Amino acid sequence: MNATCGESRKDVGDDRMAKNSTRLGIEGASVATLLSRLKPKRQEIIRPVIEHPRDYVLLSVRGLAKKLGTEPATTLRIIQDMGFSAYRKFQHYLHELSIAQATPLDLMKMTSNGDSDIPAHLREALDRDSKNLQILRQGLDFNKIVGLAKKLYEARRILIMGGDLARNLAGFLHYNLMLLGLPVFTALSPGEAVHATRTVNKGDLVIAISFRRGLRQTVEGLQQAHDNGAYCVGITDTYVSPIARFSDECFLASIDSPSFGGSYAAPMTLLNILVVACAHFRRDRTLALLKKAEKEQHAGFRWYS
C-alpha cells in the first residue's frame, strides 16, 4: 500500500515537473539539460560559455565563434541544437545565467570606478533599488498575488523556507501571516528544511525564497515538498534558478546591487504586497483579529511607556 502511494506521488511529481518545464520554456532549462542535447565534442566547445556566461554574453555570433576557436556556422548549430531558436534568445539565457552565478566579488567588480567618491556609490545603490522596484512594478501580475492570497487561506499548512539573508524575508512574511491567524511555520536551517518538507504534502503550501543559484537547503527542501505533492511557490530573481523549476508558480524580484551583498528592496516590497492582499482578501476577519489585539497594542508589556 505504501509503495503504491509512493509511486503515485512520484508520477504526480513527474507530471507537475513536466508542466513546469513547459511553463518556463527554454529560458528556465538547467545547464545539464541543455548540454545533454549535444554530442560530447560540442559540449566541450560550448562549456566555457555556460560556465562563465558573463565573459561571453555581449559577443556577436562571429565574436563568440572566434573566442571559441570555431566557425560561426558551427557555433550557431550548437546553439540551435541546445534548443534556442535564435542567437538573441541564447544571449538572454546567458544574461539570466550570469545573474544566477554572480558572486559578491563579481558584484563589487561591476560597480562604478573604485576611485569614485563614496556618495557616488550611494547614489548608484539608490538608483539600482529604484530600478529593481520599477521592474517589479512592470512585471507584477496583481491577479496572481490575489490568487496566491486565496491559496494561503485554503492551505492546511503554510511552510516558508529561506536561509542566510533570506531568513529575514521569511521571518517578515511568517510574522505577518501569523498575525492574520494563518497556520504558518518556517524552516530556516538545513535540518529544519529536511524535517519540515518530509511531512508536507497535498493540501499544504510551501513558499521558498532564495536567489542567484539557490541555497541548497532551500532548493532541495522545495524539491522534496514538490515531490510530496505540496503546492510550491518560489520567490527568486531569475527563471534560470532551480527555485523556478521546482515551483508551481514563481515570482521574480531582482536583488541587483552595486555592492557585495544583494539588495532586498524589491523582494521585501513583493512580500509586503502579498501581506496587503491577504489582509484585504478577508477584510472582516482581519479587522476582527486586529480588534482582539488592540488592547495589547495600547498597553501590553511589550511596549515602552
Q: One digit per residue, pLDDT tens: the chain, 305 residues?
A: 333 333 344 454 555 554 554 455 666 678 888 899 999 999 999 999 988 898 999 999 999 999 999 999 999 999 999 999 999 999 989 988 888 887 777 777 766 565 568 888 889 899 999 999 999 999 999 999 999 999 999 999 999 999 999 999 999 999 999 999 999 999 999 999 999 999 999 999 999 999 988 999 999 999 999 999 999 999 999 988 999 999 999 999 999 888 887 899 999 999 999 999 999 999 999 999 998 888 777 777 777 77
Residue 67 lies in a domain: yes
Residue 122 lies in a domain: no
- Cα(245)–Cα(226) distance, integer angstroms: 10
pLDDT at 112: 57
Residue 58 lies in a domain: yes
Residue 229 lies in a domain: yes
3-class DSSP state for residue 269? Answer: helix
Decide: pTM greater than 0.85: no
Residue 116 lies in a domain: no
Examine the domain organization and report whether 220 and 275 are in the same domain: yes
pLDDT at 102: 78
Examine the domain organization and report whether 148 and 288 are in the same domain: yes
HSE on the CB side for 274, CA within 13 Å? 26
C-alpha cell of 227? 515531490
pLDDT at 185: 97
Q: Say which residues have a Cβ less than 8 Å from residue 170's Cβ, sequence separation at least 6.
A: 160, 161, 162, 186, 188, 207, 209
Residue 114 lies in a domain: no
Examine the domain organization and report whether 153 and 93 are in the same domain: no
Examine the domain organization and report whether 11 and 76 are in the same domain: yes
Q: Which domain holds residue 280?
A: 138-298
Examine the domain organization and report whether 63 and 193 are in the same domain: no
pLDDT at 4: 34
| 201 exposure class (CB count in 10 Å sphere: 0-12, 13-18, 19+) | middle
- Choose the final residue of a domain: 101, 130, 151: 101
Residue 107 lies in a domain: no
Examine the domain organization and report whether 152 and 268 are in the same domain: yes
List, in sequence order, every residue forming a beta bridge with 266; answer none if it has no partner: none
Residue 267 lies in a domain: yes
- Cα(7)–Cα(24) distance, integer angstroms: 26
Examine the domain organization and report whether 152 and 290 are in the same domain: yes
Examine the domain organization and report whether 6 and 96 are in the same domain: yes
Examine the domain organization and report whether 151 and 94 are in the same domain: no
- Choose the final residue of a domain: 101, 124, 150: 101
